[in-house]
Amino acid sequence: MSLVFDEYGRPFIILREQQAQNRLKGLEAQKSNIMAARSVSQILRTSFGPKGMDKMLVNSDGDVTISNDGATILQKMDVEHQVARLLVELSQSQDEEIGDGTTGVVVLAGALLEQAEKLLDRGLHPVRMAEGFEKACQLAMAHLETIADSVSFGRENIEPLYDTAMTTLSSKIVNIHKSKMARIAVDAVLSVADLERKDVNFDMIKVEGKPGGRLEDTELVRGIVVDKEISHPQMPKTIKDAKIAILTCPFEPPKPKTKHKLDISSREAYERLYEREQEYFTTMVRQCKDSGANLIICQWGFDDEANHLLLQNQLPAVRWVGGVELELIAIATGGRIVPRFSELSPEKLGRAGLVREVAFGTTKERMLVIEDCAKSQAVTILVRGGNKMIVEEAKRSLHDAMCVVRNLIKDNRIVYGGGSAEISCSIAVAKAADTETGVDQYAIRAFADALDDVPMALAENAGLSPITELSQVKSQQIKDGNPHIGVDCMQSGVADMRTQRIFETLIGKQQQFQLATQLVRMVLKIDDVLMHGNFQ
């Protein structure tokens, strides 16, 4: 037994049995947390790699989503356990920061937690374990930099960017058309990239989806596509040298913000009111015409009266354009968003070389395309597909590919795929563990074993024997001193990932290691869960 003091300085005795029970309770809580997190990781494990399986997610309304993107699957899963939710947030962090590797980071976190559970059974303290994992992560990240290659690219030499986008799209549903999709993603990013400053303005890339047509009908439009149509069927559908008035004021008489009622009791009073209303309309249209505008884009709707007057004055118009799209049009065309008709002037108009309405197939679906914008090379990727579900998955896949291309522009260092980077880091970390003398060596060696789980998952999902494949790749890496040998998921007969041109960005891989290690450290340091802050 031992003597301790409470917050008032009063002594009390803790029996050894009570201390043992407390330790046991903390161990049970840690194991419960690890089990919850690992169960989420196991769900995603089969979706990992180019041969990974897809998940069908059905929400409470019966809407179906089919995807193998880790962030999407976890976001749409109904996860109740608090620690399991941390894995959901982990995947979202990877998605927001890097855009790719959302499944890999969860698989690695699950492997680390599996190793942590084994070490807990052997009596290793969670804090020492967390410190060992952190030390091993730093070793792995340093080793990644030594095996990384730098690639050079430019607007004339886009092959490295294209190969990186192809690697990303290999594991997506759209991989049958990954060559075309990768070209579109690279062209879109380079259209808005500043290579000197290594900066990419993603706000200038818009991804629109329209069900119908085939996936290979997806195209890159050098301009802005708005899911609206010209407001009147008799207005011109093509406007060259467009001068665009961008309005956030409605084409209607002002509504008095009072509770007074206006009773019309005679024909003369009605006609006076009608004339006054017509005067409002004609003044609005005249102000638009006087500014030199030949196209009106309005955030609000307008009634048939205003539509007819605009047609008479040969002013094509588009109504109900959303605020985000309105801002994008203003930035791209160099126009100003005008809140009042009286403020319209020629210098506030946006300019574009061509504005046209595009029809799709045999349906009445139409969209407005604004091309050759004056101020910015804004681009739109128009995704087509057999149904809404395919279109949405294609949009997510293209977003991942564009994020990876952006990351390569920011930092042109790469590591090779197929699990080769993880195996190389595993070998290096295991060597470092042999030089350690303290308890940390167990945690560092466990980290190396967890890294081996990533290529094993790749091999397993490709229908190969995971242990056989891992041992072959690892022995070949050690024998040849070549860190680019990985799991040949496509079974092409070439294990060298450099020859296969399968690679990913260094910053994406480093982010995976860091985020997974930080999450595992957080889970290990939790020894009890108090619901609503209450002690049970």
Q: Catalytic residue positions?
A: 69, 102-103, 400
Using the structure block, give the residue that is written with the tokens 């990351």. Answer: 407
Tokens of 450: 């967890």
The alpha carbon dihedral of 153, 159, 163, 169 has a sign of positive
Tokens of 254: 């002002």
- For residue 273, what are the contacts with CB-CB under 8 A and spacing of at least 6? 262, 264
Taking a C-beta distance cutoff of 8 angstroms, is the pair 190, 340 a contact? no
Rounding to the nearest 10 degrees, give the CA dihedral for residues 95, 36, 86, 452: -50
Helix or strand (DSSP H, E) at 240: strand 238-247
Own/partner pairs, 66-69, CB within 8 angstroms, 24+ separation: 66/173, 66/389, 66/393, 67/173, 67/393, 67/396, 68/103, 68/171, 68/172, 68/173, 69/102, 69/103, 69/172, 69/393, 69/396, 69/397, 69/400
Residue 256's DSSP bridge partners are: none
Residue 320 neighbours by CB distance under 10 Å: 11
Please, what's the b/e burial string for 227-265 (b: 16 or more CB within 10 A of its CB; e: otherwise)?
Answer: ebbbbeeebbbebeebbbbbbebbbbbeeeeeeeeeeee
Torsion angles phi and psi, residue 358, rounded to 5: -115, 130
State how far the Cα of 301 lies from the Cα of 321, in Å rounded to an integer. 9
- For residue 260, what are the contacts with CB-CB under 8 A and spacing of at least 6? none
Q: What is the DSSP letter of 212?
A: B
Counting DSSP H helices and E strands in the chain, the numbers are: 16, 19
- For residue 107, what are the contacts with CB-CB under 8 A and spacing of at least 6? 41, 44, 45, 48, 453, 454, 457
Residue 363 neighbours by CB distance under 10 Å: 9
Nearest one of 486, 482, 517, 481 to 504, comparing CA atoms:
486
Torsion angles phi and psi, residue 473, rounded to 5: -65, -45
State how far the Cα of 280 lies from the Cα of 12, in Å rounded to an integer. 86
* Distance set, CA 337 to CA 38, 212, 284, 371 (Å): 51, 33, 16, 19
Helix or strand (DSSP H, E) at 147: helix 126-147
Residue 177 neighbours by CB distance under 10 Å: 18
